[in-house]
Amino acid sequence: MDNLNSSPSPVLRDAFSSGKTKPYSFRLLQLNAILQMLEEHEADFIEALNKDMFETVLSEMITVKNEFLILSVCAFLPQISLLDNCFVQKEPVGVVLIVGGWTFPIEQSLIPMIGAVAAGNCVILKPSENSSQAANLLQILLPQYMDTVSKKGGMMIKTSIFLHICVSWFPGDRTIGKQVLQVAAKKLTPVSLVLGGKNPCYVDKLCDLRVAARRIAWARFINAGQNTLAPEYVLCHPDLKERLIHELRNCVREFYGHNPRESPDYGRMACTEQYQRVKDLLSTGQVAFGGETDDGDLYIAPTVLTDVQEPDAIMEHEILGPILPILTTQTLDEAIDFINKRDRPMTIYVYSGNQEVISQIMHRTSSGSFCSNDSMIQNLNTSLPCGGIGNSGIGIYRGKYSFNTFSHRRACVLRTTTAECVTHLRYPPYTEKTPEHGLSNDAKHDHV
């Protein structure tokens, strides 16, 4: 592991070239070290997350531990081919750059790192400065538990860092994602991007509205809405809108009380810049409930907006905050057309008791993932990949998909020279040949 920002150190490249990261025993040792670090310092991580987000996100610890379990148990099964001696060998790509995300600073740093380490790579880890407490804790603890060749802080996305990078993993918005691609392209460095997007949530008349509201509210307002998989807007029939708003308001009161600002379970914006950006979005449409802010506390209340128009800024950019616009459509076809007119999102949600409605949306739209009658739950399943499509991201990760992302699949054929009686047919001259044609006396004798 390395925490560099400039070009990777020769020590790191030499460490990979020595082959020390390739043995199964070394990889498992490093993965066990990550798990040990999490178990011994769980209280420290929770405290750091509280200081960064003012909210304890236990799901971060759980998902990282699940990632360890799936890769430490399953990633190193022998590659046994049933087709004679033809097989695919997975080998590490080399030095991997992982830039951690700020919305889930532990998860979005360690989960891709676990995949890269499991595949046998050297890793340059750059946690997000927007979650400074979590980033500092990772930089302090990881060298105490893992094999570390260099400890340096700070990094800028510039051409030099990609000089000896084999794969990079980056979460962020589309603007920065395009910049990363441009820089990486100069060195032909493969890049995996998790960019988010406008995740639609269709609420059908035939659904349990109270359950739907609970699950939507939980996903939208957890971490104060700072989550790329949260529902970005709701589409529903006009007759359903007021009832849905009523249920959402009840859910917010149930989760956070009558004043969410006083709830220990409700978060704050990660930084002043993020706070001001999300606060400006409150001028869109009409506030159905919520809308309160506090500049000194970086607080934005759980908010539902109505009368939002398609060209409004809140419908053009990812919210990453505790605001949920509700738009109406008359028919299912109209809702599907609305979704398909926009860039393909990270995920699509639909709440309905009608399987035909679910099937129609799933098969007539495209997204990084899809979930019916719940929100964000697909991200907790380590057997499923996580990632976007089109403008919402490039590449996938989680579990075995992380292992594959950070591995080169090498096609291998191991042959002998005893089958020349058959393979000689490929040699010129291309005239009719007998099985013995072109064979040496020894080969003919072997054939007989």
pLDDT of 443 reads: 44
Q: Which of 92-101, 143-152, 334-343, 421-430 has the lowest mean pLDDT?
A: 421-430
Question: What are the pLDDT digits (tens) for 100-154?
Answer: 888 888 999 999 999 999 999 999 898 888 888 888 999 899 999 998 865 554 4
Query: Counting runs of H as helices and runs of E as strands, what totals does the chain give?
Result: 15, 16
Q: How many CB atoms lie within 10 A of CB 385?
A: 19
pTM of the complete model beyond 0.85? no
Question: What are the pLDDT digits (tens) for 175-192?
Answer: 888 888 888 888 888 899
Given a contact cutoff of 8 angstroms between Cβ atoms, the answer to whether 76 and 27 are in contact is yes
**Residue with tokens 């104060």, as numbered in its chain:** 224
List, in order, residues 6 or more apart from 192 with CB less than 8 Å away. 112, 167, 168, 169, 170, 387, 393, 394, 395, 396, 397, 405
Q: How confident is the model at residue 436 (pLDDT cuts 50, 70, 90)?
A: low
**Residue with tokens 């531990």, as numbered in its chain:** 65
Between the alpha carbon of residue 264 and those of residues 121, 223, 250, 256, the distances in Å are 40, 12, 18, 8
| CA dist., res. 53 & res. 297, Å (int) | 11
CA angle 198, 252, 281 (to 5 degrees): 40
Mean pLDDT of 286-292: 97
| CA dist., res. 226 & res. 101, Å (int) | 11
Question: What are the pLDDT digits (tens) for 6-53?
Answer: 455 577 777 877 888 888 888 889 999 999 999 999 889 888 888 876
> Hey, what domains does the chain have and what are their CATH numbers?
10-195+396-409 (3.40.605.10), 200-380 (3.40.309.10), 416-447 (no CATH)
Q: What is the mean pLDDT of the chain?
A: 85
**Residue with tokens 């859910």, as numbered in its chain:** 251
Tokens of 248: 């959402």
Higher pLDDT, 85 or 412: 412
Strands of the sheet containing 167-171, edge to edge, are: 122-126, 95-99, 167-171, 191-194, 393-394
Question: What are the pLDDT digits (tens) for 45-93?
Answer: 888 888 876 555 556 777 788 788 777 765 444 433 344 577 888 999 9
**pLDDT at residue 2 above 60?**
no
Q: How confident is the model at residue 285 (pLDDT cuts 50, 70, 90)?
A: very high
At 113 the three-state DSSP class reads helix
Smallest CA-to-CA distance from 395 within 381, 406, 410, 382 is with: 406
